[in-house]
Structure 1
Amino acid sequence: MIPATFDYVRPATLEEALDVLRDAGDEAKVLSGGQSLLPLLRLRLSYPSVLVDVGRLGELRGVRDEDDHVRIGAGTTHDEVVRSAVVNAECPLVALATATVADPAVRHRGTFGGSLAHADPAGDLPAVAVALDMELVLRSASGERVVAARDFFADYLETVMEPGEILTAVRVPKLGPGWGCHYEKFQRTAQAWAIVGVAAAVRVSGSGGSRRVEEARVGLTNMGSTPVRATAVESAVPGAELNGAAANGSGGALRDASALAADGTSPPADLHASPAYRAHLARVLTCRALSAAALAV
């Protein structure tokens, strides 16, 4: 299909972009990498009157280590995130999940902030955002505000961003020592959206044959209209012994806790999976993700 008619603006500065968005109101859309927005325009699922291209604004790109968190510019490409030494050292779950996004061509054009602002629950990064308690920095012509990831996603392809706002950066808290991470997902093909995905981070204590999980964070992809935090699993995992079968998820407390992964979720039904199948996948993949995360410590 052919997109509906729109005006195209490519501002030279962030301030100029914010002024354009303020004047256009809810008739405008922000374009960065375009890997999510352009297909919607082509299918006329989105039809803005003004398209504001911020893809060349250098102030929206880059990764910085800032004390207790890592700041990722919203315009930073997926590939830049995956290759960032800071991200890999301080928040490896972000690098692991981002490396699974679509294919290399998309990762070289698509942006970290664009994926979050798109708010597709089948996307890989929203689940990671809620699992790690990320904070999203929003700017408008009237000022700046910070929104926690758990409050950012409102519904399918909807966020709490107001007309005139741009997502400028994401703050990723550092987990510190003793944490292991893993992102596990099931998909039809390498480039396809996840049928179900699991972002897991676990804090492990002890050594040798006496290791156990002290804390866990689990985010689920495509198990509802927004990314889901698997709180039932997180509550059940602490104290899990990592010995023998429990260490690889084939038995013990990790498997038992993972059986709760689908509790409180509303998985969608589509051509690729029924809700029951997605619930089954959530339980299986959560067990794998928790085990891999624990072994990574």
Structure 2
Amino acid sequence: MQVPAPFEYERATSVDHALQLLVQLGPESRILAGGYSLLPMMKLRLATPKWLIDIDDLADELGYVEEDGEAIRIGAMTRHRDLLESPLLARLAPIFRDAELEIADPVVRNRGTIGGALCQADPSEDLSAVCTAVDAEIVVRSLEGDRILHMEDFYRGPYQTAVAPEEIVVEIRVPTRAALGSAYEKINRRVGDWAVAAAGAALTIEDGAITDAGIALVAVGAEVSSAVAREALIGQEPTEEVFEEAAAAGAAACNPITDQRGSAEYKRHAVGVLAARAMGRAAERLGAEVAP
């Protein structure tokens, strides 16, 4: 039976209270939100915090999806279910809904949070790839104030982020652009499982050409963002040939491993197919006619 190591428990009543507890209890304390990322690690003794600071009561303070004219603002305690059901995200960033339809099961989606998922930094996790593709910013707070990190700075590698021991992720900001289309594609062994491979794409198309792109490849190496695929897209027309060539370049540059989910060769092939498919759907959502 998998049982966590002994720990003490505190329940925060506000963000400021949680920050005070982090300082008071020191670096061996961890934030507990939905628990679906941290608790499995604790059961395997891969995480052994001496203190858990429960922020579940902060859903009213940190659970929201809003638009302020420049960005979609998502509170870190926003549940997967709320991301799935958000009409704002469905309209402006449908890649979130695509991914949420593939995440776990209703039990996990009702409890798990976007902040917890991002802080887990699992290379097979879906929302990290989504936020990378759409060039999201992460707002991190301490008692000294806020700092804003791009995903490339927030994500330090598998299971590592730039969040300091005395900080909490409080918000995710997704830039809003009128000409942005996005999509997410994933394959797994069974519904709701971790990805065998997945890909997210966010494209800006103006005057018939791709002017900006974000491509994220999942479960195929430590790097999520694919600069190679992005470079192959900029300035090109949105055609199947362009998407297939960009996806192939990204797949060739990734570094998957062979494990119980599949061979490295299979994952590299799969992520190339998924990336091209995601690019095509992202373009079509902008009304672009994707020529062969």
> Which 4+ stretches in 1 moved above 3 angstroms?
211-215, 238-242
Q: CA deviation at 1:30?
A: 0.6
Cα distance in 2, alignment partners of residues 180 and 263 from structure 1: 25
Name the counterpart of 2:233: 237
Name the counterpart of 1:264: 253
Deviation string, structure 1 residues 78-109 (Cα, Å, up to 9, x no partner): 11111112222222222322232111211111
Contact residue 185 and residue 274 of structure 2 kept, 8 A: yes
Matched, 1:287 2:276: yes
1:232 aligned partner, one-letter code: V
Matched, 1:84 2:86: yes
Deviation string, structure 1 residues 122-159 (Cα, Å, up to 9, x no partner): 00011111111111111122222111111111121111
Determine what percentage of the aligned residue pairs are the same residue.
Answer: 36
Contact residue 75 and residue 111 of structure 1 kept, 8 A: yes
Name the counterpart of 1:255: 244
Deviation string, structure 1 residues 61-83 (Cα, Å, up to 9, x no partner): 11121121011000010111111
Q: 1:225 to 1:257 in 2, by over 3 A?
A: closer
Contact residue 136 and residue 170 of structure 1 kept, 8 A: yes
Name the counterpart of 1:36: 37
Contact residue 22 and residue 140 of structure 1 kept, 8 A: no
Cα distance in 1, alignment partners of residues 120 and 105 from structure 2: 18
Cα distance in 1, alignment partners of residues 237 and 93 from structure 2: 25
Contact residue 232 and residue 263 of structure 1 kept, 8 A: no
Q: How many residues align?
A: 284
Q: 1:231 to 1:9 in 2, by over 3 A?
A: same
Cα distance in 1, alignment partners of residues 18 and 204 from structure 2: 42
Contact residue 199 and residue 220 of structure 1 kept, 8 A: yes
Moved more, 108-117 or 139-148: 139-148
TM-score in terms of structure 2 length = 0.92
Contact residue 98 and residue 185 of structure 2 kept, 8 A: no
Name the counterpart of 1:183: 184
Is the partner of 1:52 in helix, strand or coil? strand
Q: CA deviation at 1:241?
A: 4.2
Contact residue 78 and residue 99 of structure 1 kept, 8 A: no
Alignment match of 1:216 (pick from 198, 204, 213): 213
Moved more, 197-206 or 65-74: 197-206
1:271 aligned partner, one-letter code: Q
Contact residue 135 and residue 149 of structure 1 kept, 8 A: yes
Deviation string, structure 1 residues 237-270 (Cα, Å, up to 9, x no partner): 245445xxx4xx3xx2222222102243222332
Name the counterpart of 1:197: 198
Cα distance in 1, alignment partners of residues 206 and 162 from structure 2: 38
Contact residue 72 and residue 174 of structure 2 kept, 8 A: yes
Contact residue 90 and residue 97 of structure 2 kept, 8 A: yes
Q: CA deviation at 1:212?
A: 5.0
Alignment match of 2:172 (pick from 170, 173, 187): 170
Name the counterpart of 1:5: 6
Cα distance in 2, alignment partners of residues 214 and 145 from structure 1: 29
Name the counterpart of 1:146: 148
Q: CA deviation at 1:214?
A: 4.1
In structure 2, the gaps of 5 or more residues are 287-292
Matched, 1:60 2:62: yes
Q: 1:55 to 1:268 in 2, by over 3 A?
A: farther
Is the partner of 2:277 in helix, strand or coil? helix
Cα distance in 1, alignment partners of residues 64 and 10 from structure 2: 23
Cα distance in 1, alignment partners of residues 206 and 172 from structure 2: 29
Q: CA deviation at 1:205?
A: 4.5
Contact residue 240 and residue 254 of structure 1 kept, 8 A: no
Contact residue 213 and residue 294 of structure 1 kept, 8 A: no
Deviation string, structure 1 residues 40-68 (Cα, Å, up to 9, x no partner): 11121111000000011121111121121
Alignment match of 1:225 (pick from 222, 225, 247): 222
Contact residue 132 and residue 214 of structure 2 kept, 8 A: no
In structure 1, the gaps of 5 or more residues are none
1:235 aligned partner, one-letter code: E
Is the partner of 2:199 in helix, strand or coil? strand
Is the partner of 1:261 in helix, strand or coil? helix
